[in-house]
Amino acid sequence: MADALQRELTDAGVRFVASFDLDGAAADLAQSEGVKGAENVEGAEGDEAAENGQSANAAASALATQASEADVVFVGFWCDKGSCSPAVQHFLQGLAGKRVFLFGTCGFGESDEYFAQILERVRAYLPVDARFIGGAMCQGKMGMGVKRRYEGMLEKDPENAQARMLIDNWNKAQSHPNEDDVSRIAAAAKEALEGIAE
Ligand SMILES: Cc1cc2nc3c(=O)[nH]c(=O)nc-3n(C[C@H](O)[C@H](O)[C@H](O)COP(=O)(O)O)c2cc1C
């Protein structure tokens, strides 16, 4: 999504001063500081997760300083338990005084209200003097383990309508993000940029 959005905005005349993969860069930096298993920050548990998380968070803050060159910072995230990952949270917290556009993917794609709730939660990590200029979300793929869990629910209770709905949603998610998602998010980003140009 991030690459496709950057292409669309570059075509529309936006110049990018820097772009980076926050999860990847945070993990690389943390690893270069000698933290074992830092590449798996989201999945780690216990003390190791706390250490990895701290290094990734420090790295995210360092990247936020780099982003301070930009007029507008576009921050992409994947939905992690209704919000964004800790590395993204820390990156957002470092964006004092910046104009920020948020774009994200989440597994559940059936509801604009759900998208809006996630955006509200994520934008709350911005410092008070940052300006949220807009945001948009779309559905993204989920892991096979998630589908197996839903299938397990259905095996136990074949009448479970919730499990059926979740399996349908998982199947739909496989084709996202698609071209329409990219166009919709790019249109929202362009509108946000026009809003600040006025
Ligand atoms: C640990 C974890 C937590 C997640 N929490 C949520 C959630 O609360 N709501 C949701 O809709 N999707 C959730 N997802 C699904 C991811 O948001 C989805 O897989 C991701 O947005 C796909 O991104 P991609 O298309 O960029 O790969 C979660 C996934 C993981 C691994």
pLDDT of 38-85, one tens digit each? 233 333 334 545 555 677 777 777 777 777 778 899 999 999 999 999
Say whether both 73 and 148 belong to one domain.
no
Say whether both 170 and 121 belong to one domain.
no
Polymer length of the chain = 198
Amino acid present at 28: D
Which strand (E) or helix (H) includes residue 72? strand 72-78
- pTM of this prediction? 0.85
Q: Residue 141: CB within 6 Å of ligand 1?
A: yes
Say whether both 88 and 11 belong to one domain.
yes
d(C-alpha 119, C-alpha 134), whole Å: 9
CA 12 to chain centroid: 23
Say whether both 133 and 145 belong to one domain.
no
Say whether both 134 and 145 belong to one domain.
no
Say whether both 74 and 168 belong to one domain.
no
Question: Is 135 within 8 Å of 102 (Cβ atoms)?
Answer: yes
Nearest CA to ligand 1 atom 12: 107
**pLDDT at 34 > cutoff 70:** no
d(C-alpha 71, C-alpha 89), whole Å: 20
Say whether both 145 and 133 belong to one domain.
no
Question: Is 119 within 8 Å of 137 (Cβ atoms)?
Answer: yes
Q: Residue 167: CB within 6 Å of ligand 1?
A: no
For residue 123, how far is its CA from the centre of ligand 1 (angstroms)? 17
Per-residue pLDDT reduced to its tens digit, 76-129: 999 999 999 998 999 999 999 999 999 999 999 989 999 999 999 999 999 999
d(C-alpha 191, C-alpha 198), whole Å: 11
Question: Is 72 within 8 Å of 103 (Cβ atoms)?
Answer: no
pLDDT (0 to 100) of residue 35: 36
Whether residue 177 has a cis bond before it, omega within 30° of 0: yes
Q: Residue 147: CB within 6 Å of ligand 1?
A: no
Per-residue pLDDT reduced to its tens digit, 127-181: 999 999 999 999 999 999 999 999 999 999 999 999 999 999 999 999 999 999 9
For residue 80, how far is its CA from the centre of ligand 1 (angstroms)? 5
Q: Residue 78: CB within 6 Å of ligand 1?
A: yes
d(C-alpha 82, C-alpha 31), whole Å: 27
Residue 103's DSSP bridge partners are 76, 136
Give the CATH number of the domain where residue 30 resides.
3.40.50
Nearest CA to ligand 1 atom 28: 80
Q: Residue 81: CB within 6 Å of ligand 1?
A: yes
Q: How many domains does the chain have?
A: 2
